[in-house]
Amino acid sequence: MSILKVPTLETERFILRPLTVDDAEAVFAWTGDERVNTYMPYNTHRSPDDSMAWLKSLEGLENEYQWGFVRKSDGLLIGSGGMRHRMDCDKWSFGYNIRFDCWNRGYTTEITKCMIDFIISQGAKHIIGECAVENIASARVMEKCGLAFTGYSEYSRFDGSKTYKSKVYELNEGE
């Protein structure tokens, strides 16, 4: 296990950079929104203090990269996401979360492709993504990023309050 240095990455429209505790107010714009939270494993944040606590927890993450997504056109932090090495199966999984007013603009696909390209450049061979069956938009993002549907599973909220049936997608580099 190791704490990874999160590099700054860039796409045509975004800068992906490490998150800091100074981002709490901006982060609350999506973590506190029930619409964004519908299929997320975390509970909706009730205040920027919840977002601050989450940001502080990122400091000790092992085997995981977490980025904030900053839109170049106006400098707005619109979301966050990351790549995590799953030691149990030697695969990298990813996740993302963006403000509701930024949905349906191709942002998530552009950002996710960047994260996947980065992790492949670091030697990753197997990438896995998962989304709730009802989350058609996330399924499309995974397909647009080159992942193939491989089956069904389920995941639960961190507090166990809800379980979602899910679709699993995978990318096996070099196969």
Contact 13, 71 (CB under 8 A): yes
Segment 28-74, tens digit of pLDDT:
999 999 999 999 999 999 999 999 999 999 988 889 999 999 999 99
pLDDT of 26 above 90: yes
Q: In what order do the strands lie in the sheet with 9-10?
A: 9-10, 14-17, 64-71, 77-86, 91-98, 126-132, 163-172, 148-156
Q: What is the mean pLDDT of residues 11-16?
A: 98
How far is residue 164 from each of residues 79, 97, 121, 134, 157, measured CA to CA in Å?
A: 22, 17, 32, 9, 8
Over pLDDT 90: what percentage of the chain?
A: 90
Q: What is the mean pLDDT of residues 123-148?
A: 97
| DSSP-assigned states of every residue in 118-137 | HHHHTT--EEEEEEETT-HH
pLDDT of 13 above 70: yes
pLDDT of 1 above 80: no
The model's pTM is 0.95
Q: What is the mean pLDDT of residues 141-158?
A: 97
Q: Which residues, in sequence order, are bridge partners of residue 14?
A: 71
pLDDT of 2 above 90: no
Per-chain mean pLDDT for the chain: 95
- Give the list of residues 6+ apart from residue 3 with CB closer than 8 angstroms, or none: 60, 61, 62
Contact 171, 146 (CB under 8 A): yes
Q: What is the mean pLDDT of residues 96-116?
A: 97
